[in-house]
Copies of this chain bind each other. A is one copy, B any other.
Amino acid sequence: MKYFVGVELGVKNIVVGVVDKYGKLIRKESIPTLKDRPYNQIVEDIGKLVINTLDQEDIDKKYVKYIGVGCPGTPNAKNGTIVRNYTLNFHNTPIRTELEKYINLPVYVENDANCAALAESVAGAAEDIDCSVTVRIGTGIGGGIIINNKIYSGFNYAGAELGHMVVSFNGNKCTCGRNGCWEAYASATALIKQAAEAAEKCPESTLNQVTNKDYTKFTETIIFDCAKKGDQTAKDVITQYLFYLSEGIVNIINILQPEVIVIGGEIAKEGEYFLKPLKELVSSKTYCQEVRQTDFKLAQTGSASVVIGAAMLGVYKNMMLHGNVLI
A interface list, Cβ under 8 A from B: 74, 76, 83-84, 91, 130-131, 143, 145, 147-148, 152-162, 164-169, 171, 176, 178, 180, 243-244, 247, 250-252, 254-259, 285, 287-288, 290-294, 319-320
| CB-contact partner of A155 in B157, B162, B167, B292, under 8 A | B292
Does the CB pair A257–B168 fall under 8 Å? no
Does the CB pair A169–B244 fall under 8 Å? yes
Say whether chain A's binding surface is mostly helix, strand, loop, or mixed.
loop
A155-B258, A155-B259 given. 5 additional CB < 8 A pairs? A154-B257, A155-B292, A156-B288, A161-B287, A167-B169
When all copies of this chain in the complex are counted, the total is 2
Does the CB pair B158–A287 fall under 8 Å? yes
When distances are taken between beta carbons in the complex, the residues of chain B under 8 Å from A158 are 257, 287-288, 291
Distance of A258 Cα from B158 Cα, bound (Å): 10
Does the CB pair B153–A257 fall under 8 Å? yes
Does the CB pair A83–B290 fall under 8 Å? yes
Does the CB pair A168–B169 fall under 8 Å? yes
Does the CB pair B165–A251 fall under 8 Å? yes
Chain B nearest CB from A89 CB (Å) reads 14
Does the CB pair A156–B292 fall under 8 Å? yes
| CB-contact partner of A162 in B243, B255, B293, under 8 A | B255
Does the CB pair B159–A254 fall under 8 Å? yes
When distances are taken between beta carbons in the complex, the residues of chain B under 8 Å from A291 are 74, 76, 83, 156-158
Does the CB pair B84–A255 fall under 8 Å? no
| CB-contact partner of A288 in B84, B168, B258, under 8 A | B84
In this complex, the member of A254, A294, A320 whose beta carbon has the largest number of chain B beta carbons within 10 angstroms is: A254
Does the CB pair B161–A255 fall under 8 Å? yes
Does the CB pair B168–A168 fall under 8 Å? yes
Chain B nearest CB from A170 CB (Å) reads 8
Distance of A292 Cα from B84 Cα, bound (Å): 13
When distances are taken between beta carbons in the complex, the residues of chain B under 8 Å from A171 are 168
Chain B nearest CB from A155 CB (Å) reads 4
In this complex, the member of A143, A158, A178, A250 whose beta carbon has the largest number of chain B beta carbons within 10 angstroms is: A158
Given contacts A155-B292, A257-B156, A259-B155, contact A285 B131 (CB under 8 A): no
Distance of A288 Cα from B163 Cα, bound (Å): 13
Chain B nearest CB from A166 CB (Å) reads 5
Does the CB pair B166–A167 fall under 8 Å? yes
Does the CB pair A247–B166 fall under 8 Å? yes
Distance of A143 Cα from B143 Cα, bound (Å): 22
Chain B nearest CB from A278 CB (Å) reads 15
When distances are taken between beta carbons in the complex, the residues of chain B under 8 Å from A244 are 169
Does the CB pair B250–A166 fall under 8 Å? yes
When distances are taken between beta carbons in the complex, the residues of chain B under 8 Å from A243 are 169
When distances are taken between beta carbons in the complex, the residues of chain B under 8 Å from A154 are 131, 256-258
